[in-house]
C-alpha cells in the first residue's frame, strides 16, 4: 500500500469513528497522558546498585474502560549518564480496579529490555544468556493512613520472586502558609529470590562462581522529597534524598560484582507533567 492509500485509509477510519460518535452515541474513551523526566545520582534496584548517574524519562497513557477501572501502558527508560553503555527499557501494560472506596488492585506485565547487559559474560555460551525478560506483577493498595501497598512480582526469565511493601505520607505545606509545596516521606521493605539469575541456565552448576547467588535476601529503603506544584498541580517538581540497603553479601547485578555494598545514599530530582 502506497503513501496516498495509507493516508486515505487513515482519514476514512477517523471519519467512520466520527460518524459513529455522532449518529450512534458512541463515546470515545478519555485518555490521560503522564510524562516525567528524572535524574538520580545512583541507580539502585531492589538493594543492588546497577549504575551511577541515571537519566529516566517516562511516558504513560491511561484510560477508564469500565466503572472504577483503568487500563494503562507505557515505557520507562534508565539511561546511564556517566556510563553511556548502560541502558534499560521497561515496557509495561496493566490494569487497576478500585473497590470498597478505599482499596485497589493493580496487575500487569513488564518487558525488560537491556543494552550491553552481558558485555562481561564472555566465557559463557550465548544460548545461556537471556538479554531481556518478562515480569508479571500483582499489587494491592489502600487509600488509608500512610497509603500502604504490597506488590508481588515474578520474572519468568530469571524465575525471580519479589515481594515488596511500601508506605508513604504526604504532608501539604499549605497548612503552614507554603502554598504549592508538600513533603513526601516514604519507606519500603522487600524480599527478593532468584532461581535463574540473569536468565543463565547451564552455567548454574554446583561449585561454580554463580553458586553463591542462589539465596534470597531482604532489602529496605526510605526517602524524603520536597514537592513543588505548578499549573494547578498539572506539573510537579520533586527533589530529595534516598536511602536503600540490603542484608545480602552477594547480589546479581549487570557487572556481577562479588560483593554488594550494604548501604546507598543518593539524590533524585524529577519533573512530572499530567494531562
Contact 87, 78 (CB under 8 A): yes
Asked if residue 12 belongs to a domain, the reply is: no
Q: Which one is predicted more confidently, 194 or 75?
A: 75
- C-alpha–C-alpha distance, residues 259 and 155, integer Å: 23
- C-alpha–C-alpha distance, residues 50 and 165, integer Å: 21
Asked if residue 193 belongs to a domain, the reply is: yes
Residue-wise burial string across 168-201, b where 16 or more C-beta atoms lie within 10 A, e elsewhere: beeeeeeeeeeeeebeeebebebebebebbbbbe
How much is the pLDDT for 70? 92
Asked if residue 10 belongs to a domain, the reply is: no
Q: Cell 455522532: give the residue.
A: 22
- C-alpha–C-alpha distance, residues 257 and 238, integer Å: 32
Contact 86, 51 (CB under 8 A): yes
Domain that includes residue 97, residue range: 29-274
How much is the pLDDT for 23? 52
CATH code where residue 117 lies: 2.40.160.40
**How far, in Å, are 70, 98, 184, 225, 271 from residue 180 at the CA level?**
28, 28, 13, 14, 15
Contact 156, 135 (CB under 8 A): yes
Confidence tier at 9 by pLDDT (50, 70, 90): low
How much is the pLDDT for 142? 96
Asked if residue 5 belongs to a domain, the reply is: no
DSSP state for residue 124 in the 8-state scheme: S
Asked if residue 203 belongs to a domain, the reply is: yes
The total of other beta-carbon atoms located within 10 Å of residue 237's CB is 14
Asked if residue 98 belongs to a domain, the reply is: yes
Where are the strands (E) in the chain, listed by range? 31-45, 48-66, 69-80, 87-99, 103-115, 133-142, 149-155, 160-172, 181-194, 217-230, 235-246, 263-274
User: How many domains does the chain fold into?
Assistant: 1
Average pLDDT of the segment spanning 159-185: 92
Asked if residue 78 belongs to a domain, the reply is: yes
What is the distance, to the nearest Å, from the Cα of residue 236 to the centroid of all Cα atoms in its chain? 18
Mean pLDDT of all residues in the chain?
81
Asked if residue 60 belongs to a domain, the reply is: yes
How much is the pLDDT for 3? 46
How much is the pLDDT for 194? 82
- C-alpha–C-alpha distance, residues 240 and 225, integer Å: 4
Amino acid at each position: 500500500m502506497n503513501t496516498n492509500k495509507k493516508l486515505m485509509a487513515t482519514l476514512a477510519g477517523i471519519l467512520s469513528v466520527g460518524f459513529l460518535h455522532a449518529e450512534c452515541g458512541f463515546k470515545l474513551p478519555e485518555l490521560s497522558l503522564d510524562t516525567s523526566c528524572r535524574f538520580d545520582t545512583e541507580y539502585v534496584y531492589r538493594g543492588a546498585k546497577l549504575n551511577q548517574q541515571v537519566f529516566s524519562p517516562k511516558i504513560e497513557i491511561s484510560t477508564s474502560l469500565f466503572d472504577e477501572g483503568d487500563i494503562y501502558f507505557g515505557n520507562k527508560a534508565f539511561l546511564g549518564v556517566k556510563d553511556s553503555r548502560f541502558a534499560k527499557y521497561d515496557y509495561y501494560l496493566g490494569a487497576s480496579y478500585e473497590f470498597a472506596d478505599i482499596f485497589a488492585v493493580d496487575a500487569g506485565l513488564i518487558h525488560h529490555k537491556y543494552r550491553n547487559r552481558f558485555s562481561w559474560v564472555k566465557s559463557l555460551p550465548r544460548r545461556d544468556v537471556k538479554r531481556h525478560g518478562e515480569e508479571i506483577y500483582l499489587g494491592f493498595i489502600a487509600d488509608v493512613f500512610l497509603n500502604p501497598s504490597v506488590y508481588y512480582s515474578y520474572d519468568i526469565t530469571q524465575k525471580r520472586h519479589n515481594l515488596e511493601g511500601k508506605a508513604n505520607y504526604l504532608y501539604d505545606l499549605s497548612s503552614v502558609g507554603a502554598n504549592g509545596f508538600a513533603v513526601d516521606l516514604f519507606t519500603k521493605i522487600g524480599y527478593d529470590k532468584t532461581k535463574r539469575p540473569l536468565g543463565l541456565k547451564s552455567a548454574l552448576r554446583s561449585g561454580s562462581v554463580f553458586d553463591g547467588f542462589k539465596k534470597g535476601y531482604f532489602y529496605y529503603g526510605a526517602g524524603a522529597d520536597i514537592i513543588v506544584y505548578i499549573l494547578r498541580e498539572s506539573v510537579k517538581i520533586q527533589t530529595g534524598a534516598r536511602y536503600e540497603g540490603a542484608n545480602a553479601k552477594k547480589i546479581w547485578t549487570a557487572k556481577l560484582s562479588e560483593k554488594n555494598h550494604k548501604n546507598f545514599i543518593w539524590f533524585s530530582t524529577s519533573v512530572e507533567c499530567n494531562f
